[in-house]
Amino acid sequence: MWDFIQDQILGMKWLNSLIQSGLQTMGADTGTPWGGSIQFFLYDVVKITVLLCVLILIISYIQSYFPPERSRRILGRFRGIWANIAGALLGTVTPFCSCSSIPVFMGFTTAGLPLGVTFSFLISSPMVDLGSLFLLTSIFGLKIAVIYVVLGLVIAVAGGVLIEKMHMEDQVADFIRNSRKSADAESAAMSFRDRIAYSRRQVTETLKRVFLYILIGVGIGAFIHNWIPETWVQNVLGSDNPLGVVLAALTGVPMYADIFGTIPVAEALLGKGALLGTVLSFMMAVTTLSLPSMVMLNKVIKPKLMTVFVAICVAGIIIVGYGFNLFQNLLM
């Protein structure tokens, strides 16, 4: 039953077969690089878009119960590492990319939440949102998806705790520290109809924001899958290169995409012989440390704290990558 759910519902293998049959009926040879690229592109764009819309609708409905003021009050009830865990978990049901997480991070910091807690949220929000769990399951299987999410949360919690222990509150931008105040009063309770309307708006707005990156990511994935020789990928990101994880993590930093745009690239790289941990390190780096988000964050925190934040994320991502590579044979 689970194999059916993973392959036919989340993975939509039936759609891939349908697209292949349709292309062959029109005279296209899906065994050639061009035909295979078209099949890969159509299948992944439709699959990711459908899953994206369904997941955002569900997650946004859940998120409607947690406006910023209520989230701040919930987080304020926890102390110590439990506060970091709560912040990291809250990040899984909030924005879908690093850039959209930063305004929420600013709001929490302005409201006076501990700095470590806000950074646990900032790390987990783009790296391990609930959408990533379902999309990773559709590609890599439930076991790998769950481990990825758990390790992402561990990085978020550990990073937040370390930043808290370093007492770097003075490294937050002065305009944020000087404007700390209570958040606005929570809006009136939403009806079921209001929540559905809010969720639909979130679907539309998020799709507008990320659809271009889905097309770019799937296009890159289709190119890698059908045009790049396996030996090239194996030489750079395979077991013969001990620095593959480091290279993948550093390559992902200057890029900008969310989990929905990176998965097709990861899928193609894995299919060409890249190691699992190397691929997942690339995904984590792209979603957590993209250059645009770093530019935005640079306006909010000072260079010393920025350096610590990036160092913690890169170190955690690299450790996770090598860990997945070490146990790949047990996971796949």
Quick one: pLDDT at residue 100? 62
| Residue 19, domain member (yes or no) | no
Q: Do 95 and 206 touch, CB atoms closer than 8 A?
A: no
The 10s digit of each residue's pLDDT in 219-237 is: 887 887 788 777 777 777 7
Residue 246 structural domain = 2-8+30-181+189-331
Quick one: pLDDT at residue 254? 62
Task: Over range 6-20, report the average pLDDT.
Answer: 82
The 10s digit of each residue's pLDDT in 79-127 is: 889 999 988 888 877 655 555 677 777 777 777 788 899 899 888 887 7
Q: How far is it, in rounded angstroms, from Cα 131 to Cα 51? A: 8
Q: Residue 322 to residues 78, 98, 197, 240, 319: CA-CA distances in angstroms? A: 33, 24, 43, 13, 5
pLDDT for residue 270 is more than 80: yes
Task: Over range 263-287, report the average pLDDT.
Answer: 84
- Res. 186 pLDDT band, cuts 50 70 90: very low
Q: Do 144 and 120 touch, CB atoms closer than 8 A?
A: no
| Residue 17, domain member (yes or no) | no
Quick one: pLDDT at residue 157? 94
pLDDT for residue 265 is more than 70: yes
| Residue 158, domain member (yes or no) | yes
| Residue 130, domain member (yes or no) | yes
Task: Over range 53-73, report the average pLDDT.
Answer: 76
42-56, 254-268, 275-289: least confidently modelled range: 254-268
Quick one: pLDDT at residue 92? 79
- Res. 295 pLDDT band, cuts 50 70 90: confident
72-81, 144-153, 310-319: least confidently modelled range: 72-81
Query: What is the overall mean pLDDT for the chain?
Result: 80
| Residue 25, domain member (yes or no) | no
| Residue 15, domain member (yes or no) | no
3-7, 13-17, 36-40, 220-224: least confidently modelled range: 3-7
Q: Residue 157 to residues 20, 81, 147, 200, 309: CA-CA distances in angstroms? A: 44, 8, 15, 31, 12
Quick one: pLDDT at residue 184? 41
- Closest to 90 in 3D by CA, of 62, 115, 114: 62
Task: Over range 284-293, report the average pLDDT.
Answer: 75
Share of the chain above pLDDT 70, in %: 86
**306-317 as b/e, with b when 16 or more CB fall inside 10 Å?**
eebbeebbbebb
Task: Over range 313-331, report the average pLDDT.
Answer: 88
Q: Which long-range contacts (CB under 8 A, 24 or more apart) does 62-67 make?
A: 62/93, 63/93, 63/94, 63/202, 64/190, 64/194, 64/195, 64/198, 64/199, 66/90, 66/93, 66/94, 67/186, 67/187
Quick one: pLDDT at residue 99? 57
Inter-helix orientation angle 68-76/98-110, to 10°: 60
Quote the number of domains for the chain: 1
| Residue 206, domain member (yes or no) | yes
Quick one: pLDDT at residue 22? 94
Quick one: pLDDT at residue 79? 83
- Res. 162 pLDDT band, cuts 50 70 90: very high
| Residue 148, domain member (yes or no) | yes
Quick one: pLDDT at residue 292? 65
- Look-up: residue for tokens 């289709």? 222
Task: Over range 289-306, report the average pLDDT.
Answer: 80
Quick one: pLDDT at residue 160? 93
Q: How far is it, in rounded angstroms, from Cα 213 to Cα 74? A: 34
59-68, 90-99, 248-257: least confidently modelled range: 90-99
Task: Over range 249-258, report the average pLDDT.
Answer: 69
pLDDT for residue 185 is more than 80: no
